[in-house]
Amino acid sequence: MTMPGHNHTKIRVGIDFGTTNSVVVIADENGDTHPARFVFTDHPASETCRTLLCLWMDQDGRRRVMKDAIGLDAIEAYLDDPAESRLIMSMKTYLAQGSFRETRVFSNVMTLEALIARFLTSLMDKAGLNPSDVSATIGRPVRFAGELADDSLGVERLRESFLEAGFPEPNIVLEPEGAGWRFMQRLDRPATVLVGDFGGGTSDFSIMRFDPQAHQRVTTLGHSGVGIAGDQFDYRIISHAVAPALGRDATYRIMGGQPLPVPAEWFASLGRWHRLSLMRTPQTLRDIADVAKTSSEPEKLRSLLRLIEDQEGQNLYRAVGQAKTELSRQDSTILRFVHRDLKIEEPITRADFESWIAPDLARLDSAIEDAMRQTGLEADDIDQVFLTGGTSFVPAVRNLFNRRFGAERVDGGSEFVSVAEGLALIERDRHSS
């Protein structure tokens, strides 16, 4: 054990703090990288941790203290007692939103940075690391999520979050640069590479010049990003194939008046299963039950009510994710989900799915074009394209690059940990002689 005050070599790590998942990769003394593995109750060990934080008050002797759980354990803690706990999600999404400064958690006022720091402290604990003992390179998106995102504010608050968690001064780099640095290990000659990094909430693109032999091995030529990614694709499936079966298109009446549409916000929450869990409050459940009484489709709304009451959001989300995965491998699938009287068996063709995500694909294509325009390069000047993140498996996404650059130049690999691996390599090389 290292005694306080003694000089010692810091552990080099790369941290990909994501909207949906977070990953920690350690670079050992030989320069090899190893993803940390996280163990959650009743789940197999995983190289990714859901970016979720659950807080609750507990008795510690005479004092009441705030306890926390993260990842899959946070879900279980929340579902054990949703009325007396607080589930915090999508923390990264709010970093660049100036309107979100702090929130009240029980009797405590907590800043966004404090919430993220609490998550990071527990994340490192699960990885078997102490923040004060590490030297970290962390990733940031090219463009933070949100329509009015302030990217400089996002970077500042990201840095403050890590400092508050006890990390010495963190090194912050663009996430696609992390993915590109990992890809560079395959190169034996100079190359101009476009890196596409698809996360849960953002998609980022960087064009970089790699020279394995040069002193400055990586030069960023241009970059762009957009606040859409895999979660948006899931929501498109839910909106078209699930929400109608739960009464989204129904109407209801107040005091026998004109038909009114059911509240749209109930169905917006279907996009993320843990948002659906948050609807399990007495007030929301009463509201749905009241609307169902005068609804044009009462049984569908009762199915929505039972879905929320029985905490079936995770199973629904899993079925949607499975359908999306199958559409990446085949031309059609059937989205199947059964809960009590609700039975969804919705055929979906890949053509259907691609028509639903067409607006999102157009925004992705514009972001790629923006990165190219910044560099002044033509498609033929790009030697390789490297794609990372789960959404890079979607054929329509890959085709954006195949059409522009040629399929023979499009590559991928280690889709869920490659950003953090690259960040760990950057951290290793930052300290190498």
pTM, entire model: 0.80
Neighbours of 147 (CB within 10 A): 6
Question: Looking at residue 241, what DSSP letter applies?
Answer: I
In order of 34, 305, 346, the CA distances from 117 in angstroms are 23, 35, 42
The pLDDT of 336-356, averaged and rounded, is 96
Maximum C-alpha span of the chain: 78
Q: Which amino acid is at 12?
A: R
Which residue did the predictor score with more confidence, 123 or 7?
123
Note the pLDDT of residue 383: 96
pLDDT digits (tens, 9 = 90+) for 377-393: 999 999 999 998 888 88
Based on its alpha-carbon atoms, the radius of gyration of the chain, rounded to whole angstroms, reads 23
Note the pLDDT of residue 239: 94
Distance CA 357, CA 396 (A): 9
Confidence check: pLDDT of 129 > 70? yes
Confidence check: pLDDT of 1 > 60? no
Confidence check: pLDDT of 78 > 70? yes
The pLDDT of 318-345, averaged and rounded, is 95
List CB contacts of 404: < 8 A, sequence separation 6 or more.
368, 379
pLDDT grade for 281, boundaries at 50, 70 and 90: confident
Strands (E) located in 36-190? 49-50, 52-60, 63-70, 85-89, 102-105, 108-111, 134-140, 171-174
Note the pLDDT of residue 397: 95
Structure tokens that stand for 128 in this block: 């078997």
Query: CA-based angle 364:203:188, to the nearest 5?
Result: 100
Note the pLDDT of residue 6: 42
Note the pLDDT of residue 2: 40
Note the pLDDT of residue 274: 60
The pLDDT of 356-373, averaged and rounded, is 96
Confidence check: pLDDT of 5 > 70? no
